[in-house]
Structure 1
Amino acid sequence: MTFTDRLREHVTENRTGMLHDLMFAVVWVGLVSFLFEVVFAGAPSWAYYLFMLAGIPAYFGFFLSLAVAREQS
């Protein structure tokens, strides 16, 4: 099995998950960028990077709570 075949198979199996990951990342980066360009314009750059880094636990927290909500319904 070639690399291209493995890549195609991986994308086919994980299409919706990869799309959800991409959508979360785009929304998170857009929201943080908006906040630091408009609301917190004078904030230090380390705070911006800290908010970007906070996207990692936010991602897992969001999808974990989504899975729990689906289980309960």
Structure 2
Amino acid sequence: MSLGDRIRSHVRDNPTGMVHDLLFAVAWVAFVTVLTSTVFTSAPRWAYYLFMLAGIPAYFGFFISLEIAKEQQAARD
């Protein structure tokens, strides 16, 4: 199986998850860019990269808390 076939198969099996991942990444990069260009204008360049790196735990924290909220909502219904 070629790499292209594997990618198409993965996208076909996980379409909404990949869209959520992409939307989160775009929103996080936009947030960090706006934050470092308006609020922290005199911050060193490494602070920008540190904010970008903070997107990894933010991503997992957001989606884990979303799953917990969904489970709690389902338990209440």
Query: What TM-score does the superposition give when structure 1 sets the normalisation length?
Result: 0.92
| Other-structure match for 1:55 | 55
SS state at 1:47 partner: helix
Query: What TM-score does the superposition give when structure 2 sets the normalisation length?
Result: 0.87
* CA shift digits 1:33-67 (9 cap, x unpaired): 00111111111111111110000000000000000
| Other-structure match for 1:68 | 68
Alignment: residue pair count: 72
Q: Percent identity?
A: 64
CA–CA separation in structure 2 for the residues paired with 1:60 and 1:36: 22
Structure 1, unaligned runs of 5 or more: none
